[in-house]
Amino acid sequence: MNKRRLFIVEIVNTIHAPKAIGPYSQGMIWNELIFSSGQIPIDPITGKMVECDIEGQAEQVMKNVEAVLREAGTTLSHVVKTTCFLQNMEDFATFNKVYEKYFIGKPARSCVAVKALPKNALCEVEVIAVREK
Catalytic residues: 111
Strand partners, 33: 30, 130
3-class secondary structure, 63:
helix
With contact defined as beta carbons under 8 Å apart, do 129 and 74 qualify?
yes
Q: What pairs with residue 124 in β-bridges?
A: 85
DSSP label at 89?
Answer: G
How many CA atoms are closer than 13 Å to the CA of 75, on its beta-carbon side? 5
Helical (H) or strand (E) element with 11? strand 9-12
Q: Are 68 and 17 in contact (CB under 8 A)?
A: yes
Of 40, 44, 55, the C-alpha closest to 120 is 40
